[in-house]
Amino acid sequence: MSDIRIATAEDQVLLDKEAKYCSYGDTVHYIEPPRIFSRCEGSYVWDTEDQAYLDLQMWYSAVNFGYANPRLNNALKQQIDTLPQIASQYLHKGKIELSEMIAVDAKKKFGLDGRVHFNVGGSQSIEDSLKVVRNASNGKSLMFAFEGGYHGRTLGASSITSSYRYRRRYGHFGERAQFIPFPYHFRGPKGMTKEEYGSHCVQQFARLFETEYNGVWDPKVGSSEYAAFYVEPIQGTGGYVIPPMNFYRELKQVLDQHGILMVSDEIQMGFYRTGKLWSIEHFDVQPDVIVFGKALTNGLNPLGGIWAREELINPKIFPPGSTHSTFASNPLGTAVGLEMFKMTSEVDYGAMVMAKGKYFLEGLQDLQKRFPIIGDVDGLGLALRCEICAADGFTPDKATLDYMVEEGMKGDMVVDGQKLGLILDVGGYYKNVITLAPSLEISYPEIDLGLKLLEQLLVRATKR
Ligand SMILES: Cc1ncc(COP(=O)(O)O)c(C=O)c1O
């Protein structure tokens, strides 16, 4: 094991400038000194000393199709040479065709007519969805959301994000969520199967509507004080928690009975991360609104947006100018988004991601057998989790995972003569979960490599 890594003289100059000129409000330095990177390709990034790191988190799932994906990069380059910029009030082909692709796909999958609109970034798209559901419910500002849920850090989005930490200093603008337990089976009460626990969570939620005295429902007029339930079908920041397959179907029945909309936040799990375009597709329900961002452009442009049912978003009910950003539907973003849709319709991404995910998960299960500190592993497609615990395999052990992340960033592991670092993301209610989001283009030998690197980190952690 090597000592703490020292920044190079050149990096140190930059770090000193960062300390003086950059607000730290928009970032978190998970390791000290933070690494500075200079190039990327496929599943790898290289630091300023040209040290390669295998990336198993891909910019929190924004780069699903690999760094510097040639086809998507070329789409951007071509757009730069034709129509790189145009004010949102004018139209361009890319915006219309991308909206059509998303809406036609939704019609096919959910049997619903709907429309798409764009904004910049995930949180801003969440804000737009809040406007849509507030508007459709005559201005109701209360939402349901999950414990462990994450929807972004603008004021509205952080109001429906479970961590009070993100709200503590800023107060509220009127939006507010009631947080409902998510069926996190590994940490749920003992004695129930995963499905039983899913039903149990729905029943607990349904209890709220049994009488007016539970605070959310007026049985006299049949109206809830809550406009929508915001769900991440698979929890992202919450630790890639996969609910039982019966869960959303049963939850949606309760919502439909009480006139509450379901908003599926696909910002992290969308675009084939779980083997489907939208992760909600695994659960056999019709969402009312879908919010997307991140991998729409493979991280090349901050384009995000929403799809909503026609009844909620048609121009009569949600008139022109209801939301706007100068950069919404910018042609560089829509060009890459469109190319991404074409690319993923030519190859069976669903089957490919499910097969790679199964292989990766088997490798994690094998590690779990050999390392008692792995309490839980699970996965859906290439959204995989590995929960690091104390020797009892249950007590969350954040300190050990932090240590593993730091060791990975040293870039000093050797596999088959190759010196490498490993980039991991940390999530989970107790910050003890490796949330694995490898490139969907990752090769099988690269998955093997990732597992070998993880094994080396586990050995280091165990010997510590
Ligand atoms: C599920 C989910 N929703 C919303 C967001 C916020 O998106 P952005 O960071 O682009 O504002 C994120 C970002 O990680 C996310 O994972």
Mean pLDDT over 438-452 rounds to 98
Pocket test for ligand 1, best of 27, 294, 301, 303 (most atoms within 8 A of CB): 294
Q: Which whole-number Å values give the CA distances from 40 to 35, 36, 37, 413, in the listed order?
A: 14, 12, 8, 19
pLDDT at 154 over 90: yes
Which residue, judged by its Cα, is nearest atom 3 of ligand 1?
A: 151
Substitution site in 268, 289, 301 for ligand 1 pocket (most atoms within 8 Å of beta carbon): 268
Task: Please give the distance, rounded to the nearest whole angstrom, from the Cα atom of residue 283 to the centre of ligand 1.
Answer: 21
Look at residue 3 in the predicted model and tell me its pLDDT: 58
| 2 pLDDT higher than 60 | no
| Partner residues linked to 436 by β-bridges | 384
Q: Is 292 in the pocket of ligand 1 (CB under 6 A)?
A: no
Identify the pLDDT of residue 28.
Answer: 85
What whole-number distance in Å separates Cα of residue 123 and Cα of residue 305?
10
CB 98 within 8 A of CB 301: no
Alpha-carbon gap, residue 308 to 219, rounded angstroms: 28
pLDDT in tens, 323-338: 999 999 999 999 999 9
Domain boundaries, the chain: 9-68+349-462, 72-346
Residue 279 CB–ligand 1 contact under 6 Å:
no
Task: Read off φ and ψ for residue 170, nearest 5 degrees.
Answer: -115, -10
69 burial level (CB within 10 Å; 0-12, 13-18, 19+): buried
DSSP 165: G
Rounded CA separation 388/400 (Å): 7
Residues with Cβ < 8 Å from 360, sequence gap 6 or more?
379, 382, 384, 436, 438, 447, 450, 451
**Cα 62 to middle of ligand 1, angstroms:** 10
Cα 321 to ligand 1 centroid, rounded to whole Å: 24
Spacing, Cα 315 to ligand 1 middle (Å)? 27
38-74 residue pLDDT tens = 999 999 999 999 999 999 999 999 999 999 999 999 9
**Contact 57/31 with Cβ under 8 angstroms?**
no
Q: Distance from the CA of 413 to the center of ligand 1, in angstroms?
A: 31
Q: How confident is the model at residue 234 (pLDDT cuts 50, 70, 90)?
A: very high
What confidence category does residue 287 fall into, taking pLDDT thresholds of 50, 70 and 90? very high
* CB half-sphere exposure, 338, CA atoms < 13 A: 21
Instruction: Note the pLDDT of residue 176.
Output: 85
Contact 79, 85 (CB under 8 A): no
Position 175 pLDDT exceeds 80:
no
Q: ∠ at Cα 229 (225, 233), nearest 5°?
A: 170
Q: Going by CA atoms, what residue is nearest to atom 4 of ligand 1?
A: 151
Extract the tokens encoding 288. Answer: 């009312």
The verdict on the CB of residue 425 being under 6 Å from ligand 1 is no
For residue 174, what pLDDT is reported? 75
Which tokens go with 172?
A: 């509220």
pLDDT of residue 21: 95
The preferred substitution site among 150, 162, 325, 435 for testing ligand 1, maximizing ligand atoms within 8 Å of CB, is 150
Pocket test for ligand 1, best of 123, 126, 274 (most atoms within 8 A of CB): 123
Strand, coil or helix: 344: helix
CATH top-level class of 72-346: alpha beta
Is the model's pLDDT at 173 over the cut of 80?
A: no
d(CA 283, CA 270): 14
Class of domain 9-68+349-462: alpha beta
Model confidence pLDDT, tens digit, residues 195-226: 999 999 999 999 999 999 999 999 999 999 99
Residue 61 CB–ligand 1 contact under 6 Å: no
Among 60, 151, 235, 306, say which to mutate for ligand 1: greatest number of ligand atoms within 8 Å of CB: 151
**For position 455, what pLDDT does the model report?**
98
pLDDT above 80: residue 95: yes
- Average confidence (pLDDT) over 179-206: 97
CB of residue 240 inside a 6 A radius of ligand 1: no
pTM: 0.97
Q: Above pLDDT 70, what percent of the chain?
A: 99
pLDDT band at 4 (very low <50, low <70, confident <90, very high): low
Residue 148 CB–ligand 1 contact under 6 Å: no
Task: For ligand 1, say whether the CB of 149 is within 6 Å of any of its atoms.
Answer: no
pLDDT at 190: 94
Question: Which atom of ligand 1 is found nearest the CA of 302?
Answer: 10
Which residues does 118 contact at the CB level (< 8 Å), separation at least 6?
95, 125, 303, 304, 305, 328, 329, 333, 334
419 CA from centroid of ligand 1 (Å): 33
pLDDT of residue 182: 98
Hey, what are 323's tokens? 């939301």
**Residue 252, pLDDT score:** 98
Cβ(268) to ligand 1 under 6 A?
yes
> Which run of H or of E encompasses 308?
strand 303-309
Q: Region 168-184: what's the mean pLDDT? A: 90
Ligand 1 centroid – CA 268 distance (Å): 6
pLDDT bin (cut points 50, 70, 90) of residue 172 is: confident
Answer whether 60 contacts ligand 1 (Cβ < 6 A).
yes
What is the pLDDT of the chain when averaged over all its residues?
A: 96
